[in-house]
Amino acid sequence: MENSTVARNLVAALPGAPPPSYGIGYWRGGGVYMSNGYLEIHGCTIVENEVHGTPRTDDLDKPNLAGGVVATIGNAHAVEDMVVGHSIIAGNTVHETGGEAYDHDVFTGSLFYFKSKGYNRIGAIDFSQILVPVGQRQWRSLCRRHYPKQGDEDGVDVAEVLNLASGVTHSSSILSAGVDAGEPVVLHYEPEGSALDQIPTSRYDVSEVVAEYEVASGYDDDFLAVTLDRVEAHYGLDGFAGDFTVDFEAFLRSVDLDPETPEAEPYLDPSGNPIVTLADTQWFGPRVTWPAELWNHPYIHFWHRLDAALFAAEIPGMGPEVLGDDEWMALFSPGRLSEAPHLSIFMSEHAVPGFSALAVDQLGNARPDDELCDIGAIEKRANE
């Protein structure tokens, strides 16, 4: 989608409607909801949308509520790429029934890859459910979070980048059925602050990291342990690897998949052996349905819990992507690993053609061709 404003939509359960057959509900994506395929957002403003519903916390902690721009999640249900550039996505919120409300602007769901083309202004971006790294050769999937890129900023407040006081244009004839039900619908917002004069008019490239690894025949795959050691060393987190391993293995031993039987039922590998240690935790495949297979859930939990542990460590400069392009390049280099020569890393950084500024904005007015352009759907100077 290009040159669009998506604002003040309301997604919620209908009053009095019978509950869905799966119980708690499935409401998410107040602005844009991506159920499959490939999504590209270029020069858009997606703000002040609301999602209301009852939160679900089962099934690998996958949320059923998310905010502004959302990709679906599900076992063995993945979507391809979400590409975002030159856009303002902020001020979108989730409202839990009987509970809290919070900012939630971009939710990557179970994407293969999130790709930024730069010059975005994003409030809250949530990578918590993107497909986890897999070292399978030819999958290029250790690094899935190609963010941030040049000119990107997250953690922004919508009022910092849009003129909400006097820069909101409403329709003279269309009434809203969303957040402002019965009031004139919002057509577009005037940018301000750090959204002004940002995007170069000439084309530019962004860089993305492609990474995967391979285990020599006859050796065990201990990449997870190696990753923990390298994270500890790179970030100067004394004791991190050992503490994480202890906590993770305690979690594995606490799993009981069948609480109605007398003894605990841990995760089992494809041969029926219990998965109760870090060494037991592997990616087992198969290629297509691997997120749905219970024997892969410990592996998925490892990466989710690693994200949480790194957030908790409050590492200066670490963004919401946690392990993105720059971090993978800092942690590993191509070739055999010195501490584990049976593991080989295949890694490269390549240029991807970026965006140039769009020629016109949402209203069809020309954006400047000889100076920096504004972020979002509207070019301020072209509409003054």
Give CA–CA dist 357/201, Å, rounded: 5
> What is the per-residue pLDDT across 259-281, written as a single tens digit (0 to 9) for each?
888 888 999 999 999 999 999 99
Taking CA atoms, 359 is separated from 187, 188, 377, in Å, by: 20, 18, 12
Rounded to 5 degrees, what angle do the CA atoms 239, 133, 64 make? 100
Classified as helix, coil or strand, 82 is: strand
State which amino acid sits at residue 323: L
Classified as helix, coil or strand, 64 is: coil
> What is the per-residue pLDDT across 326-359, written as a single tens digit (0 to 9) for each?
999 999 999 999 999 999 999 999 999 878 999 9
Here the tokens at position 92 are 């979108």
Range 125-151 average pLDDT: 95
> What is the largest distance, in Å, between two alpha-carbon atoms of the chain?
73
Taking CA atoms, 323 is separated from 272, 318, 347, 365, in Å, by: 32, 9, 15, 39
Which H or E run contains 299?
helix 297-312
- Four-residue CA torsion sign, 159, 163, 165, 169: negative
Domain boundaries, the chain: 5-203+355-383, 209-352
More confident residue, 23 or 29: 29
Whether the CB-CB separation of 153 and 122 falls below 8 Å is answered with yes
Question: 12-26, 82-96, 191-205, 272-286: which range is least confident on average?
Answer: 12-26
Here the tokens at position 218 are 């006859």
Classified as helix, coil or strand, 246 is: helix
pTM: 0.93
